[in-house]
Amino acid sequence: MSITRSISRLQAMPVQQIIEQYGSPLYLYDGDKMIAQYKQLNAAFGGLKLKVKYALKANNNINVLRLLLHQGSGLDAVSIQEVQLGLKAGFAPSAILFTPNSVSFEEIVEAVDLGVQVNIDNISLLEQFGHKYGNAVPCCIRINPHIVAGGTAHIQTGHIDSKFGISIHQLRHVLRIVAKENIRVNGLHMHTGSDILDSGVFIRAAELLFDAAGQFPDLEFLDFGSGFKVAYKEDDVVTDVEELGKVITERFQAFCSEYGRELELWFEPGKFLVSESGYLLVKVNVIKQTTATVFVGVDSGQNHLIRPMFYDAYHHIINLSNPQGTPRIYTVVGYICETDTFALDRKLNEVREGDILAILNAGAYGYTMSNNYNSRPRPAEVMMLEGKAHLVRRRETLEDIMRNMTDI
């Protein structure tokens, strides 16, 4: 979806009423957009036994999980707590893939006890898993293909120095462990990182996975991760999932024919499903002009949306209160006592104190990465669904922040 269309969808919502009822700052989600993204991805791979495993680290609100559950989605969880959240949301254990990183073996055991599909990404845990379970419990193995996706280094997970996955060059050793411990490997997994623009990256990594898969006779699925790029700027190039679907479908069907039976194809989209559906609505507290810069200071900060400071991520910003105002150059900053910049030298329609700004593409890695720095509470979350606004998480209070503190 283009930025223009995202803005149009937002402008069709009763934003002022929502702000008046629930206050600011506030996360606003377009549930219908999430559903549309899910359906688009499924349609692109219509010729395959596709399983979508939503990466809930992107947005873990239980109402988002249930919304996607009702569409038929499974879950990709990266912590035992995410597994437990998925079970509380109503997902069957068999619909949850557990892909942790640098966890203790005790967490793996807990996941097995809960009945979810375990995905192992290092040799030490694979050896321990085989020693304990043999072929009684199947597992998936995460392979690092050493192929780099697009985007910045922060979001690349398939390069040679990545902590994620078992190197494709260690496959012979993996096979020895599998044979020695009689491990039943029912899936292979890879994830090259985010912001993949063309099918070539997927195909190059997929060929490595296909080659490896031929050495595992009990496979039920291959998991290609995700990394589909969405638009953050008006002229952004995005992943063409329809084109990707055609290319991957043809090659995957050929592989299944060679393998001897039809396998399931899994993807783990997070950002693709929820990023464009989300908006962080903030109120302008102050306009502050210095000798060099005109600052717009808002009632939020990196404590609510850390991506601009953490990833140097671009988020489009619009002035909802003055859409016809004269465009001027501003730097939009937060109220946290740190360098706390949402946007540097950004052209916005003239901003006045009290205006409401919308920060776009805030549906993924927004609230889930938020914190209470400076003792600031987290904002409320509201979901628009079929024309109605639903409060899906209450605004925090100081009492919430102090809840687990004890006296001495």
Positions marked catalytic: 337
The helix/strand/coil state of 282 is strand
Give the tokens for residue 294.
């005109």
Strand ranges, E, within 126-272: 139-144, 166-167, 185-189, 221-223, 264-267
User: CA-CA distance, 404 to 215, in Å (whole number)?
Assistant: 50
Residues 6+ apart with CB under 8 A from 36: none
Give how far Cα 95 sits from Cα of 108, 114, 176, 224, 299, Å. 17, 12, 29, 16, 39
End-to-end CA separation in angstroms for the chain: 54
Rounded to 10 deg, the angle between the 123-133 and 105-114 helix axes is 50
Is 141 exposed, middle or buried (CB count within 10 Å of its CB: 0-12, 13-18, 19+)?
buried
Q: Which amino acid is at 273?
A: L
Q: What is the DSSP letter of 379?
A: P
Give the tokens for residue 320.
């909802």
Q: How far is CA 135 from the centre of its chain?
A: 32
User: CA-CA distance, 236 to 215, in Å (whole number)?
Assistant: 40
User: CA-CA distance, 295 to 36, in Å (whole number)?
Assistant: 37
3-state helix/strand/coil string of 6-36: HHHHHHCCCHHHHHHHHCCCEEEEEHHHHHH
User: CA-CA distance, 116 to 88, in Å (whole number)?
Assistant: 13
Helix (H) or strand (E) holding 246: helix 241-259
Q: What is the DSSP letter of 132?
A: H
Give the tokens for residue 157.
């997970």
The helix/strand/coil state of 269 is coil
Q: What angle do CA 187, 149, 164 make, to 5 degrees?
A: 50
